[in-house]
Amino acid sequence: MLTLAGVLLALFLSSLDQTIVATALPRIVADLHGFDRFAWVATAYLVASTALLPVYGKLADMYSRRTIEVTAILIFLTGSALCGLAGEFGPLPLLGDGMSQLILFRAVQGLGGAGLLAMAFIVIADLFPPAERGKYQGFVGATFGISSVLGPFLGGLLTDHGTGLLPGVAGWRLVFYVNLPLGLLALWFILTRMPRLEPRGEKKPLDYLSALLLIAGLVPLVLALQLNKAEHGWTSPLTLGLFGGGVAALVAFVLRSVRSANPILDLTLFHNPVFRAANIASFLLGGAFLSIIIFEPLFMINVVGVSATRAGISLIPLSLGVVGGSMLAGQMVARFGHYKRWMLAGGLVLLAGLALLSTMPATVSYEHVLLYVLVCGLGLGPSMPLYTLAIQNAIEPRFTGQATSASQFFRQIGGAMAAALLGTILTLSVAESLPATTTAQAEARAAAAESAAGSGAVASRPTPAVRAAFTRAISRVYLCTMCLVLCGWLATLFIPELPLRTTNAAPKPAPVRMAEAVK
């Protein structure tokens, strides 16, 4: 349990850093004078943490889990300290000005954050057999839910009121320094309480070329998704070039993996029907959580007319729902041994919540939105731990690292793709709803930009035209999100439900049907 506490604390920091910077960005931009690059502060972390997930999974199958966890924590803490120091000494050779330094150091943070995310599920898989694992992986879902909502609030609090807590240190720098004491505490737990957890597979030399090809393919793809589509549209040369380069590198990665004796991701895992269907569902459902996180505050600010602070607070019911849903589903699975029914039930609840969000009128009350978001959280809760549990239960223990990190990767990349596509739908819908020559459209664009930047400003008294435009646009976004969730729910129907193993021994082979045996 002490090992679990250390792993969850490290995971909390990794997840927190995906959102805590959002509300600090306006002050960071003002201090470091990098408005033209502010989006890259978040993008650098996302790109690094997503691209390295499969690599960490492979390393966990080759070396001691404790060694990999400690290494990831040390990289993350080093990146956090460097982020806090960005710009303190002015422009530096090779590193550039303070904003360029911060972007680079955020990438270093992401390199460690990927390991913290991947290792949480992998270590839990080693500590507890599948029959008991659900209730402990429910804590992982709870950690994600709490950090996703606490991040923006804590970032704004430290930025606005943290200056002076440490002599001569600006409040926004504490957003990064706060990781140090908590990270060191997690490191102490891991070093003193965690067993080495040696891998079960045969140790072979790492295929470095395969790893480089995978990273070379994933980085351009994530960058293409994160580009500002107002400046670089889907058909712009830069976007198409990044997509083309990424796809070419991934094709080379697949060809290399087929011939490699020790690939980064063993492609035979896709022959497993549980692994295949669960990852498709995770990919599709990954966008639902991010969709609510991004677009619900936009609705609150530009339709309901609340401040950015109250809009952030309105996500707390989502967090509570995710925490409650994930822990309840984990406990029920551990007690009764059936996971598929909870996946399907969670999907139906999520669809109901999104249906309520998609039909909100411009006159909806603040309290009603909180209720709808709570319903969505209850539906999302089971999806976080149970799809990973199903995959781990179906594969051989020697593939635990690869299979688990692949599950997290597909969820991350699905969220990134959904955010980019739904953001484009929102922009086009707003532009379509307002005449191009009116000032209302300019006001709507400015309001959306302020909200996305997390400036904390009050979108006071949005005009009727702006409210109507955002109501219609965000309704379309939620309808599209419902389509993603429905497809994910249908994919879940094809997940074979295997009995949960009571030990960490290899699973028994599935029974072969007569027709398959004859074939």
Q: Residue 295's closest CA among 42, 473, 415, 157?
A: 473
Which pLDDT score, from 0 to 100, does residue 201 have? 61
Which pLDDT score, from 0 to 100, does residue 444 have? 52
Which pLDDT score, from 0 to 100, does residue 322 have? 87
Q: Residue 227's closest CA among 240, 217, 213, 216?
A: 240
Which pLDDT score, from 0 to 100, does residue 347 have? 94
Residue 174: partners with Cβ closer than 8 Å, 6 or more residues away: 84, 158, 162, 165, 166
Which pLDDT score, from 0 to 100, does residue 509 have? 54
Sequence spans of domains, the chain = 1-198, 208-253, 271-433+460-496
Q: pTM of the full predicted structure?
A: 0.82
175/45 Cα distance (integer angstroms): 14
List the chain residues with pLDDT less than 50.
437, 439-440, 447-459, 510-519
What would the DSSP string read from start to end of 343-373? HHHHHHHHHHHHHHHHT--TT--HHHHHHHH
Which pLDDT score, from 0 to 100, does residue 490 have? 95
Which pLDDT score, from 0 to 100, does residue 491 have? 94
Which pLDDT score, from 0 to 100, does residue 11 have? 87
Strands (E), 215-374: none
Q: Residue 29's closest CA among 180, 170, 164, 142?
A: 170
Structure tokens at 469: 């435009």
287/484 Cα distance (integer angstroms): 8
CATH number of 1-198: 1.20.1250.20
Which pLDDT score, from 0 to 100, does residue 248 have? 94
CATH topology of domain 271-433+460-496: Growth Hormone; Chain: A; (1.20.1250)
Instruction: Tell me if domain 1-198 and domain 271-433+460-496 are identical in fold.
Output: yes
